[in-house]
Chains A and B, each alone.
Chain A
Amino acid sequence: MSTLARPLGLFDGARSPGQVAAPAHPLAPGRAGRLTASAGRRRAWWSAAVLLVGLLGVCLASMHLGQYPIPVADVVTGLARSLGLSDAPALASDGVLWNVRVPRIGAGVLVGAALGTAGAVTQSLFGNPLAEPSVIGITSGAGVGAAAATVLATAGSAVLLVPLGAFAAGVVTTLLVWGLAALVRGGGTLTLVLVGIAVNAVAGAASSLMIFLTDTASREAVVFWQLGSLNGATWPAVGYTAPLVLAGLIWSLTMSGRLDVLVLGERAAAHTGVNLRSLRAQAVLCAALLTAAAVSVAGIIGFIGLIVPHLLRLVVGPRQQYILPLSALGGALLITGSDLVARTAIEFVDLPIGALTAVIGGPVFFLLLRRRGSVT
């Protein structure tokens, strides 16, 4: 028995106050029909397995389906050859597969993982399940940054400037939202949503202004950021996004324990030993990094961070050590699945994926709002 961790020894052995019989062990393997912590762990592993299988299935379907269907057998041999695992003769479909579909799927996985986890982090930071990057305006803020960089940058510097612009604008927007929400203390959900409306309006105005002022080529780029699409995903884009997203995911995982404590509210979290200033700053930067990384590849795709963590919480409970990695998986699945639909639903038309996710996200947002009873 470590005495260091029990300065008062309130619950040491038989001297436990107010304790008559040894209580049931609440973290022990589950009693039938009740939700225990270990049941949560089992569910988390099951969810991870299901999401992973689903993601692999969607990836395979995505490689197979399209304007130019590639038989599954050819997909497998083509992949093996591209990875140097097979020396079967090259097929005509290889170019489409390796240079168009695989990077697009890779970008979808990265964007989805980033948005799902960014949603979980912002919800924890704001202590509100409705605080999602697109709802509170971080996504559109980052979108303005990316669009501005597209308009201002030359072809060569765009690769670096677009993600940088998205990140800078994302951080500024997150801080702005957070500062504005804090100004109206005690406003709760209503404040957050109102601040989101204001920030989205300003970002929309900035985008409109850019569309109005620039030439046709830039105009198209700006519209592209606003609609959200994986249409432009290339290997270089996947290349620079992957480390950013990976860093953001790992960063969020290092915060999982502290984000859990934040559920008690900022004051009680501080009483429990969390350095609030550091945690807030890290959570803001991490959410902005993930959102910006996603926006710089795919433009503004909303509601992923709202739908995915919410559904997962219903299944595995709100513990961040499960929610953060599972949101990455779930987001990846939702984006790759939506992209598959966006690409194949109407022949020869590449639908904007942002519009698709909003179609699912809007009703989920409303249901969440309704479930909370009052918006304050």
Chain B
Amino acid sequence: MDVIVSRSGGLAGLRLTWHVRVDDQPDSDDWYVLIEQIPWSEPPPLPPEPDRFVYRIRCELQDSAPASRAHDATLAERQLTGPWRKLVDLVQDRTEPERAAPTRRPTR
């Protein structure tokens, strides 16, 4: 599984992305336990705050894993608490961020 955290927004509007291959981590079992602890379907509701960061956290599967383990959630900075925060801290600790241009959606 890959965990991809992208942080956008902030006063500067700069986007950073961290990408970790869980299976390459020496403690990959702990990662899977943590990922299962996260209440993926219910990030606590919070209206956006001006100039704060926005985090998008994705867990992407390689081919054979069951589809139920893929996750995708977008959180405001203040919603990053408990296991959410733990996962983001872990990802940021294990890898250097890449700076990327904003992801464009196809226009309308």
A and B from one complex: no
A residues neighboring B (CB under 8 Å): none
B residues neighboring A (CB under 8 Å): none
